[in-house]
Amino acid sequence: MRAVIATESGGPEVLALTELPDPVPGPGEVLVRVAATAVNRADMLQRMGLYNPPPGASEVIGLECSGTIEALGPDLGEATWSVGDEVCALLAGGGYAELVAVPVGQVMPVPAGLSLVEAGALPEVACTVWSNVFMLAGLQATDRFLVHGGAGGIGTFAIQLASALGAKVFTTAGSAEKLAVCADLGADVTINYREEDFVEVLTQAGGADVILDNMGAAYLERNVKALADEGRLVIIGMQGGTKAELDIARLLTKRAAVLATSLRARPTEEKAAICASVVENVWPLVADGAVRTVVHTSMPLAEAARAHQLMEDSGHVGKIVLTA
């Protein structure tokens, strides 16, 4: 099969299309012929040699895909997939390729009405946002929700999902154009992080019940300040570094929580439970158009280097798709 690999650690230019042996589905896995995959921030870190795949996962970059089932491995339990079914899947790796073997619990149907290009950009954002904001932080319809980086892949999905489920949505982005997109997607309050202080905006509104954060260390202190009493800060990204001071006194007074998770590193059973919950709770909203995948652009797998450069330059809104 053709696959994109990083020939060495480095910038986008180290990505190259190459020939690799076809993967063989092991017990509990299906083989998917990839139609589309999408770029994630973690892909940049893996390309730079800073984020190795978990044990047993493909060395090929790529955390999600859409496509058709090419073959079924042994021991699939109660799964009812057939060869030729259109699916999308959450991956621990291997998406930047024509074929990928996937644990069957991470294979999901394509929501009704979605193209395979749109579906290829869906698993990572849907599973990340649903598992963190709803399953873990328990966002309620009466809550105030702050998501940073509202115009990114995660942000565009989180705004829509939280808004569809009734929460009041606050979001940050770095330009007026990006904030306008966030407002179109359902954000109630948009904050230009280059010009405004999100802590002030949230404090005046009564504080955030849930914050989904991509900035890590750089925003830890301000995020804790922006939390409401009993608020939950969920950190999923480290774009602003990994080490910072935490004011425990402020956390105690607010009876607040700081949580951090990585989807990729979770055991396959947990990923299967997240995928099942996403199919049950999120897919109906995607199918009826309340939540959609925002695809900035789609380009062939061979242009993965250009796609990585685009994400590094933050020149995108939503997801960048690669077609196999």
Question: 237 near 212, Cβ under 8 Å?
Answer: no
Site for ligand NAP in 12-41 (CB under 6 A): 40-41
Q: Exactly one of 12, 67, 93, 152 binds ligand NAP (CB under 6 A); which one?
A: 152
Cα→Cα distances 94→135, 166, 178, Å = 27, 36, 31
Provide, rounded to whole angstroms, the least separation between the CB of residue 40 and ligand NAP: 5
User: What residue is closest to ligand NAP based on CB?
Assistant: 152
- Asked whether position 177 contacts ligand NAP by CB under 6 A, the answer is no
Provide, rounded to whole angstroms, the least separation between the CB of residue 22 and ligand NAP: 28
Provide, rounded to whole angstroms, the least separation between the CB of residue 145 and ligand NAP: 15
Q: Exactly one of 33, 47, 144, 148 binds ligand NAP (CB under 6 A); which one?
A: 148
- Per-position b or e across 28-47, b if 16+ CB within 10 A of its CB: bbbbbbbbbbbbbbbbbebb
Q: Do the bridges between strand 86-90 and strand 64-72 make them parallel or antiparallel, or are there none, so unpaired?
A: antiparallel
Q: Long-range CB contacts (< 8 A, 24+ apart) of 79-82?
A: 79/30, 79/104, 79/107, 81/30, 81/107
CA–CA separation, 243 vs 6, rounded Å? Answer: 28
Q: Exactly one of 7, 18, 52, 261 binds ligand NAP (CB under 6 A); which one?
A: 261
Which range, of 52-60, 95-103, 257-265, 287-295, touches ligand NAP by CB under 6 A? 257-265
Q: Exactly one of 37, 58, 190, 214 binds ligand NAP (CB under 6 A); which one?
A: 214
Cα→Cα distances 43→72, 78, 179, 274, 296, Å = 27, 32, 25, 21, 17
Nearer to ligand NAP, 227 or 263 (CB): 263
Closest CA to 133 of 169, 89, 109, 91: 169
Which range, of 11-19, 82-90, 171-179, 276-284, touches ligand NAP by CB under 6 A? 171-179
Question: 244 near 265, Cβ under 8 Å?
Answer: no
Which range, of 21-29, 54-62, 79-87, 152-160, touches ligand NAP by CB under 6 A? 152-160
Residues that bind ligand NAP (CB under 6 A): 40-42, 124, 128, 148-149, 151-155, 172-175, 178, 193, 214-215, 236-237, 239, 261-263, 311, 314
